[in-house]
Amino acid sequence: MNNKLNTKNSYSIFSIIKGGFNKNSILDISISNKTPKKQYDVIVIGGGGHGMATAYYLAKNHGITNIAVVEKGLIGRGNTGRNTQVVRSNYLWTESSLLYEHSLKLWNNLSQDINFNVMYTKRGVFSLAHSYQEARDVARRVTANKLNGIDSIYLTPKEIKDYIPIINISPKVRYPIFGASLQKRGGTVHHDAVAWGLARRLNQIGVDILQNCEVKNLIIKNNIVNGIETNKGDIFASKIAVAVAGSSTRFAEMGKFKLPIESHPLQAWVSEPIKPILNPVIMSNAVHAYVSQAEKGELVIGAGIDKYIGYSQRGSFSVIENATSAIIELFPSFSKVKLLRTWAGLVDVSPDACPIIDLTPVKNLYINCGWGTGGFKATPGSGYVFAHTVANNEPHVLNEPFSFTRFESGKLIDEHGAAGVAH
Amino acid sequence: MLLIKCIFCGERDETEFHYGGELRDKRPLNPNDLSDKEWAEFLYSKRNVNGIHIEQWFHSGGCRQWFNIERNTFTNEITNTFNLKKQKITREKD
Ligand SMILES: Cc1cc2nc3c(=O)[nH]c(=O)nc-3n(C[C@H](O)[C@H](O)[C@H](O)COP(=O)(O)OP(=O)(O)OC[C@H]3O[C@@H](n4cnc5c(N)ncnc54)[C@H](O)[C@@H]3O)c2cc1C
Ligand SMILES: [Zn+2]
């Protein structure tokens, strides 16, 4: 393991007390404005959570530190800073549940690993069922989870009400509650902390984070990539790893191959802060809505994607209206709460709602995309297996099923129906 | 929210419509001759355009007809509407 990871400059109870007496903030997350080197071992394109986690595990697990993370804007301003922070691993199919479970386990120790509190809070994630068929599907998923060693329980409406006294379990509503699954280790992780913590750690390791550095093209000769053209000049590397979410298709075009990905707006919105009233995360596939309460007190609400392709990072109001009305039916006491802000990200949706983490038809070029509406929870796991793929030029066992070729062989991993609104 | 001009009914709210995706290439006429890779490309690969995009919409809450529109996927500006039968372009702006 690389000794640059053992930095002295770490947070502890003592450094925080000491910091309290000094005027200067002890938060040293400023990222110096580096000029790119001419040559790196690996260039990671995309300064979101997935790109930075990839660089982190390249250093930690594979001893590679001559890395640049190239970001066209500022780190964490893509989906990483826009998501609603839900983490869980109770997916239906074995392939996906193992990948997300690996990630959930990494969250457990990530704060200690990177010496930055990412605030993983095991507040529990409920997935509600609103019909007999959905209740059967949820029960099936609970069983599948148990077979894969993932904690998951099935609850009746009465048991749900015991956990969440303010929820409306009346049978006389548009979407009555028939039951729910609960994953107690599911919950939330603070998204900005993930971006800052990883960036700070990479800075300490000596990875160059190049912000405001937009990749305009890949430098490819004889189907081998060896560099990138950017607004800060050409930069060369032995290997190039792409983790750019909604912009993935542009990189496939540069490499002259095709992707089964479409980019959609995905919206979220928050209310004014209120006193603590809701502990767990509540999701509902049928009504395409979910809600949790942030530490600061805002209700954080999200929905499914806007149906059309869109690069504007703006969605339609009808999505907000539909999901909010469903949430108010579930929680009548929220009806007077005011909404503060709405926003949208640019998510990369694949046909089977599962990622592609693989080599590409271009030699030394690797891609990690297709996480769609639910990739935040996978940030460390995604970086872990992608780093393995890049370092060894072959996938890790956990991402082998998430290959390009599954669309040719027909071995899709159909999480769409299984996990519904997959956040 | 998109304001979509149905070629039969005029301007309506996006919620009256169903999005039918990108106007795709024609279905291959010689399916038996295609390799798995070629089929996969036809079935799954997407142009995923950032910019001018020709897409299909269905007026499900109105006249229940399909038609095509040309929309900029970055600005959401709708620049053309196409009648499937006549394939005649009616420019919105003139
Ligand atoms: C509203 C919303 C709610 C969500 N809620 C959840 C949730 O609750 N739980 C969950 O698990 N997931 C959720 N997601 C999904 C999750 O946010 C994403 O799957 C995940 O964050 C993707 O991480 P990333 O690092 O791949 O992408 P990003 O954070 O988007 O990073 C990609 C980066 O690539 C950069 N880039 C693009 N093109 C270039 C270029 N040419 N040159 C250089 N850099 C470039 C971009 O600027 C961007 O910073 C949500 C998403 C949204 C939008
Ligand atoms: Zn009509």
Q: Which residue range(s) make up the domain with A300?
A: 121-188+263-349
Does any domain span residue A385? yes
ipTM of the complex: 0.90
Does any domain span residue A305? yes
The band of B86, judged by pLDDT with boundaries at 50, 70 and 90, is low
Examine the domain organization and report whether A267 and A344 are in the same domain: yes
pLDDT at position A417 is: 60
pLDDT at position B82 is: 87
In terms of DSSP bridges, do strands A187-188 and A86-87 run parallel, antiparallel, or are they unpaired?
antiparallel
| Residue range A282-297, pLDDT digits in tens | 999 888 899 999 999 9
Residue A420 has pLDDT above 60, yes or no: no
| Residue range A180-195, pLDDT digits in tens | 999 999 999 999 999 9
Examine the domain organization and report whether A356 and A220 are in the same domain: yes
Residue A393 has pLDDT above 80, yes or no: yes
pLDDT at position B33 is: 95
Interface test with B, best of A407, A409, A412 (most B CBs within 10 A): A407
Examine the domain organization and report whether A108 and A195 are in the same domain: yes
Examine the domain organization and report whether A269 and A398 are in the same domain: no
Fold for the domain defined by B3-82: Folate-binding fold (3.30.2270)
Examine the domain organization and report whether A100 and A200 are in the same domain: yes
Is the beta carbon of A85 within 6 A of some atom in ligand 1?
yes
Evaluate whether A107 touches A87 at the Cβ level (below 8 Å).
yes
Note which residues in 236-275 of chain A have CB less than 8 A from chain B: 249-250, 258-263
Does any domain span residue A421? no
Distance from CA of B44 to the nearest CA of A (A): 5
Examine the domain organization and report whether A279 and A372 are in the same domain: no
Q: Tell how far the Cα of A309 is from the centroid of ligand 2, in angstroms.
A: 21
pLDDT at position B91 is: 36
| Residue range A319-330, pLDDT digits in tens | 999 999 999 999
Residue A43 has pLDDT above 50, yes or no: yes
Residue A11 has pLDDT above 90, yes or no: no
Q: Tell how far the Cα of B81 is from the centroid of ligand 2, in angstroms.
A: 12
Evaluate whether A148 touches A102 at the Cβ level (below 8 Å).
no
Note which residues in 30-59 of chain B have CB less than 8 A from chain A: 36-37, 39-41, 43-50, 53, 55
pLDDT at position A83 is: 97
Residue A303 has pLDDT above 50, yes or no: yes
pLDDT at position A2 is: 40
CATH of the domain at A401: 3.50.50.60
The band of A21, judged by pLDDT with boundaries at 50, 70 and 90, is confident
Q: What is the mean pLDDT of residues A334-358?
A: 96
Q: What percent of chain B has pLDDT over 70?
A: 89
pLDDT at position B84 is: 76
Examine the domain organization and report whether A229 and A332 are in the same domain: no
Examine the domain organization and report whether A313 and A400 are in the same domain: no
Contact B1 A317 (CB under 8 A): yes
Q: What is the mean pLDDT of residues A350-356?
A: 95
Which residues in chain B are closer than 8 Å to A308, comparing Cβ atoms? 2, 19, 55, 71, 73
What's the whole-number average pLDDT of chain A? 93
pLDDT at position A10 is: 72
Examine the domain organization and report whether A47 and A68 are in the same domain: yes
Domain boundaries, chain B: 3-82
Q: What is the mean pLDDT of residues B10-29?
A: 91
Residue A58 has pLDDT above 60, yes or no: yes
Give the whole-angstrom CA distance, residue A15 versus residue A23: 13
Domain boundary among A334, A349, A364: A349
Rg over alpha carbons for chain B, rounded to the nearest Å, is 15
Residue A19 has pLDDT above 90, yes or no: no
Tell me which ligand sits closest to the C-alpha of residue A373.
1
Does any domain span residue A9? no
Per the structure, the count of domains in chain A is: 2
The band of A65, judged by pLDDT with boundaries at 50, 70 and 90, is very high
Does any domain span residue A418? no
- A128 phi/psi in degrees, rounded to 5: -85, 150
pLDDT at position A133 is: 94
